[in-house]
Structure 1
Amino acid sequence: MLRVRAFRRRWFLAVFAVCFMIYVLYNSLDKSHTESAGIYEVQHTLLRQPFQWQPSNQDVDNNRTHSLRCRNSVQGRQYLVDERGYICEREDLTTSGCCDRSTSRSTRYNCTSCKPNSCCIIYEHCVSCCLQPDKQPLLQRILQQARDSVDKLFVAVSDQFELCLAKCRTSSKSVQHENSYRDPRAKFCFGEDPPDLQMLVT
């Protein structure tokens, strides 16, 4: 009788182990399939996403009506940059969200605080400089890299303004050891390379 019980117990444990292994294998395959499907969907979302580049004609907005409305960078305490590439002080922002280009303080495609490596001291300068039509080849390479690496940060961007806003934000590429900036001053970058590593002076 004891032998029968021991046999049944072993049989039950063997069946349980086989069922458990099948369950684990099924779950891992299903998870792998889900991840592959997710990557596929992100890649194809990026490929299907219509993208609008800045017009090469810098005066294209001359032909628009006075009802023109602009998106802008919103959060700057002193400066704002609108989607046309104009940077202005907050007090020079019109009710339509556009920088008032009639003031001498409003400048377009301002790279004043930007270095040759495309890293800038002021966030709004980074966005304004990035919006120059001649930056398109650089940004096309960045978009292609995003597609290749399935970078979800760029899935939702639909034009050069949104891309520049996202690219100029500080990211993991801007820091070292997860707690300090590679370049504490010029930390807003729209290029392919991270900020130059600066030696700390003690």
Structure 2
Amino acid sequence: MLVAKIMRILRNKTILTVILLAGVTYCLVSVWARMDSMGTANERESTLTGVRVNDFRWGPDLSNDTGRGTVMSCRNSVQGKVLLADDQGYVCHRVDRLGTGCCNTGVDTTRRYACDTCNVHGCCAIYEYCVSCCLHPDKKALLKKVLGQISENSPLYASVSDHFELCLVKCRTSSQSVQHETLYRDPRAKHCYGEGPPPVDNVEG
């Protein structure tokens, strides 16, 4: 009897239509949920790696750059005892830092995009010169490659959102700067903004 009742219900076109629409709706919702979860996962991975290039803020283009302009304050590299580099690409003596955090450009020793102590591999002996050199607009193409190589297992880069922050992190010595866990690959140029680690320098002194 029960089977006969079910068969009579299934012959009803209205009920069949409702069942069919419910099935189609279920399938669409399932597909949408799966795509949404994949998008969320991709977003999470992108955030972890810090490689959200579309949101990444680059330094000024030199072709439109006339100097300090209307900059009211600067972030700077902070840590140096003698030198510091600010987020406009200037490097100066620590005593020439203004109250705004910027280097005093009215001092002869303050220089912009200075690559002193840096070699052709993008490795420098002094951290502040590494940061200043790294901020040069002509390093943008190289740094885009660096961003593309950052692994999701590199939490150090997770909060990097602009050119200056990337240079600060990239120029710090890291595991790439050493060999055998204790020796610098090149003790004379251990701060690097380039793609790979510094080449090994076996010359002592």
Residues 143, 154 of structure 1: 8 Å contact kept: no
Deviation at 1:154, TM superposition (A): 1.6
Confirm or deny: 8 A CA contact 2:85 2:92 kept in the other structure. yes
Q: Does 1:193 align with 2:200?
A: no
Q: Could you say if the C-alpha distance between residues 44 and 199 of structure 1 is closer, same or farther in structure 2, counting changes exceeding 3 Å?
A: closer
* TM-score w.r.t. length of structure 1: 0.74
- Alpha-carbon distance in 1 for matches of 2:41, 2:116: 39
Hey, what's the Cα distance between the residues in 2 that align with 1:101 and 1:176?
Answer: 39
Q: Distance in 2 between matches of 1:110 and 1:162?
A: 17
**Counterpart in 1 of 2:82?**
78
- Per the alignment, residue 106 of structure 2 pairs with 102
1:61 corresponds to 2:68: yes
Letter in 2 for 1:102: G
Change (3 A) 1:197 1:71: same
Taking the TM superposition and a 5 Å limit, the aligned residue runs for 1:8-157 are 40=42, 42-45=44-47, 46=50, 48=52, 50-57=55-62, 58-59=65-66, 61-62=68-69, 64=70, 68-146=72-150, 149-150=151-152, 151-157=154-160
Uncovered stretches (5+) of structure 1, i.e. residues with no partner: 1-37
What is aligned with 2:17?
A: none
Contact 1:69 1:97 in 2 (8 A): yes
The 3-state SS of whatever aligns with 1:80 is strand
Structure-2 change in CA distance of 1:115 and 1:48 (3 Å) = closer
Instruction: Report if the CA contact (8 A) 1:85-1:129 is conserved.
Output: yes
Q: What's the CA shift string for 1:86-107, capped at 9, x where partnerless?
A: 0000111001000000110100
Question: What TM-score does the superposition give when structure 2 sets the normalisation length?
Answer: 0.73
Superposed CA deviations along residues 111-130 of structure 1, whole A, max 9, x for unmatched, are: 01100000000000000000
Whole-angstrom distance in 1 between the partners of 2:51 and 2:137: 21
Please state whether the residue corresponding to 2:68 is helix, strand or coil: helix
Q: Given the superposition, is the C-alpha separation of residues 194 and 104 from structure 1 closer, same or farther in structure 2, using an over 3 Å criterion?
A: same
CA RMSD of aligned residues (A): 2.2
Code of the residue aligned with 1:112 in structure 2: it is D
State the structure with more CA Rg: 2
